[in-house]
Structure 1
Amino acid sequence: MVMNKRATPVRKRGYSCTMPGVWRAAAHNEGAVVIYHSPKACGHIGREMELGMHFRSLAQQQFCAGQYSAPLVISGLQEEHSIFGGAGLLRECIDYVAAEYKPKYILIANSCVAGVIGDDTAAVAGEAEQAWGIPVMSVPCYGYLDGDYYTGFYHAGKVLAERFMVKQPKLVNMVTLLGDRGGPNGADVQEIKRLLGYFGLKVYCHFPAFASLEDIRRVPFTVMTVPLSGTRQSYPWIRKLGLDLEATLDVPLFDSDYPAGWQATVGWLTDLGRFLKQEEEAAMVIEMELQRLKLHVDKCSTVLKRNRIAVCIGRPVHYFDPALFLELCALYEVQAAGIVILDDMLAAEQAQALRQELSGYATIPCFAQAEAEAKALLQTADIIVTTHELADTGKKQLFLPLLPLAGVGGIMTLMTKLVQLAERHERRGGVMYV
């Protein structure tokens, strides 16, 4: 039995709204204020995201004290505005924000309600900008009508780039990270910085998130952009933002698959060496990272070999690539006893697509959740590695992260957690999160 905490997705496109993407793109940009032109209820999404990130950074000791948080203000659309329009309400909201917060710029995220009633938020933003003498920008997407979270994130970045960036001479060895992977102190960001450091590269800033107005204006000074994205939904949008900056500002995009897992890390480093014309340095870096990984494998594999491990997958292939964990099993000489497809987490066509994806791993048996073999596997397994919490709290469970971890550091983090779980007393179950 699996604890299902949300509706089963049946579409390839994400269910998320574009407005949280706009919010995240400017949430920690000093001097920014974000307005949701929406009903009040929409505001809880941004608040919950911010609270989640706050507590996660505290738990992982990655909290950045004093970090700026942009105010999130809701215009407060109501039923009457669906008839008479909400442009006047938005004007009042902008006036309030400009007078109360005295921001350096205002970014407006539009709800699907604003799109349906046809509010010309761009025109309202232009009028307010003239009145207050500060940049006021409307992001051209409307809630669920125009895509998902990453659509809003991309369009917010594009609006900021178009408004504040111009071509500049390049600063040697300075790069810009594109996207958001837990903020500047996040483990993935630190791992990417470490890998870039082998080549003498330093990170100037994150864009569009975690960047002051001065940072944003100086992005064109950097010699390249490096995407922070490891999922099939986010990468096309982050790549598109990088290509936009390359086309308009001559800031080259380093376009390579995210370094999640060993083979992807090798590919990323190889591509980076080729991009920088430092192929020999890249080969040396790969060898150093391999030796680092081997030391960790030698340290962990003895413990892991003694455990019977089952893998449970309940995410569609569009959201989760099973090859990553199975690659780590091979690296650490751990044989997965079997894979269980959590059918009650997936629509029928998603379960079929996942089974087809897993058919390439002929040495690992694969079962549907309802099959007797699946139940026997889960009962006899010492450890269950899973995409969803199982109701059997007596079992040792490792909860696989939705976002894959970067580099050798990410591999070591995940597999160290697995070792810690394996070393728990056999009667002590529970879920461990990466």
Structure 2
Amino acid sequence: MIRNSERKKVIHCNLMSVFLAAAYNPKAAVVFHAPKSCSHIAYNAFWEMRRKIENQKNLKTEHDCSNLFVTGLADKEAIFGGEKILKECLLDVVAEQKPEYIIVAAGCAAGVIGDDVAAICQEAEQTTGVPVLYVEGSGFMNQKAVDGVLSITKAICQRFVYPLLKKTKDPASIAVVGMNSIFSPTKEIQEINRLLGLFGFTKIYYPPGGMSLEQFKDMASVSAITAISFLPKTLVEVEKFAQQFAEKREIDYIKLKIPNTMDAVYEWLQTIGTVLNRTTEAEKLEELEKQSYNKFLQQITTHISNKNYIFA
């Protein structure tokens, strides 16, 4: 019965989140193994968000969604399988676009007909020499929502970061996983950067959004990692990944959350100070933050005193 099945749950297609997570990655191509209409979802979402995001973040780019491709599964492939057109599509993308790597995501149709997408990706990579990363998930055919940011981060780290984990640790470098640096609110990113900067972190990576292949490789030298998901439902999985990364890299894992109150800011400083064994420094920073906040309150109080306001 429908009442006792998974069908009554709202499950979002993973294709849009996968593309938006990598839409601004230079020299990366995203291929959907799905009908043409599926790419329309991601295409529309990109254009609806592009102007607003680029204006807010002052991004100087002519990005036009030209790194999105779709195999165009049709009735014929739905009956006889679509592995052939997937491989042809991957070969064409390499020949025409010359990407540094390709991200492949499958839609519902590919999941239903049982195409071995992972095997085709591997075969295409062997033929072209271009890394082809398969992101698991088949459109709506999942028991839970697929986090494109986390899925691509995992795939990219597995391919480009983990092989370089023996690089020397950079004390000024930290990774923040779970956030989409392009589409996350600007003020949140700025505040996270500011607070991490108080402890000397000047190289802050937010995989995978907007990062180049060289930046992914440089991420292998981070001295700490934290997990802050802008999707609360996926926070547990994001934290689990961050902990595993820290264990592989043998670095500090700092459990944090987006600081949306002053008390949360103080808690941030205390937590980072404790993990990094810099509690004295954290206490001084906390006192400076309190002084700055009190000064701000005094200025606001002076500004609004003896004035009438209408709140709408």
TM (normalized to structure 1)?
0.63
In 2, Cα distance between equivalents of 1:76 and 1:259: 43
Could you list the per-position Cα deviations for residues 254-305 of structure 1 after superposition, in whole angstroms to 9, with x for gaps in the alignment? 2123212222222222111111111122222222222333344344464799
Aligned to 2:145: 148
Structure 1 contact 157–241 (Cα < 8 Å) conserved: no
8 Å Cα contact 1:227/1:239 also seen in 2: yes
Residue deviations 1:164-223, cap 9 Å, x none? 122122112211222214369932222211111111111243212221111112211110
Superposed displacement of residue 99, structure 1: 0.9
C-alpha contact 1:20 1:149 (8 A) present in aligned 2? no
Counterpart of 2:284 in structure 1 is 284
Given that residues 228 and 256 in structure 2 are in contact (C-alpha distance below 8 angstroms), is that contact kept between their aligned partners in structure 1? no
* Structure 2 portions without partners, runs of 5+: 1-5
Please list the CA deviations of residues 360-404 of structure 1 after superposition, one character each: whole Å capped at 9, or x if unmatched: xxxxxxxxxxxxxxxxxxxxxx64xxxxxxxxxxxx3xxxxxxxx
- Name the SS for the 1:161 alignment partner: helix
Which amino acid is the alignment partner of residue 66 of structure 1? T
State the partner residue of 1:171. Answer: 170
Which amino acid in the other structure matches residue 196 of structure 1? L
CA RMSD of aligned residues (A): 2.8
Residue in 2 that maps onto 1:212: 212
1:122-153: CA deviation from partner (whole Å, max 9, x where unpaired): 11111111111111121122112233242x32
- The yes-or-no answer on 1:46 pairing with 2:42 is yes
> Percent of counterpart pairs with the same letter?
29
Separation (CA, whole Å) in 2 of partners of 1:110 and 1:78: 14
Shift of 1:243: 2.1
Q: 1:129 to 1:281 in 2, by over 3 A?
A: same
Q: Name the stretch that deviates more: 30-39 or 241-250.
A: 241-250
- Alpha-carbon deviation of 1:14? 6.2
1:210 match: secondary structure: coil
Q: Structure 1 55/246 Cα, relative in aligned 2: closer, same or farther at 3 Å? A: same
Structure 1 residues not aligned, in runs of 5+: 1-9, 308-381, 384-395, 397-434
Structure with greater helix percent: 2
Partner amino acid, structure 2, of 1:96? D
Task: Pick closer, same or farther for the CA change 1:17–1:219 going to 2, 3 Å.
Answer: same
In the alignment, does 2:127 pair up with 1:131?
A: yes
- Matched residue type, 2:58: F
Name the residue aligned to 2:227. Answer: 227
Give how far 1:250 is off. 2.8
Is the radius of gyration larger for structure 1 or structure 2?
Answer: 1
Q: Which has the higher contact order (CA 8 A, sep 6+)?
A: 2
1:322-361 mapped onto 2 (5 Å cutoff): none
**Aligned residue in 2 for 1:191:** 191
| C-alpha separation in 1, matches of 2:235 and 2:150 | 10
Cα offsets for 1:48-94 (capped at 9, x unmatched): 3322432223443x222137667010111123322111111211211
Q: Does 1:63 align with 2:58?
A: yes
Structure 1 residues 95 and 215, CA, compared in 2 at 3 Å: closer, same or farther?
Answer: same
In structure 1, C-alpha distance between the alignment counterparts of 2:121 and 2:168, rounded to whole Å: 32
Correspondence list, 1:33-432, <5 A: 33-60=29-56, 62-66=57-61, 71-146=67-142, 147-150=144-147, 152-165=148-161, 166=163, 167=165, 168-178=167-177, 179-182=179-182, 186-300=186-300, 302=304, 383=311, 396=312
Closer, same or farther in 2 for the Cα pair 1:13/1:215, shift >3 Å? farther
Q: Does structure 1 retain, via aligned residues, the 8 Å contact 2:188–2:258?
A: no
Aligned residues: 299
CA distance in 1: counterparts of 2:196 and 2:183, whole angstroms: 17
One-letter amino acid of the structure 1 residue matched with residue 174 of structure 2: V
On the 8 A contact 2:193/2:204 being kept in 1, the answer is no
Q: Is the 8 A contact 1:28 1:67 kept in 2?
A: no
TM-score (norm 2): 0.85
Name the CA shift for 1:269/1:13 in 2 (closer, same or farther; >3 Å). Answer: farther
Query: Partner of 2:23 in structure 1?
Result: 27
1:240 CA drift (Å): 2.7
* 1:215 to 1:59, Cα distance in 2 relative to 1, 3 A: closer
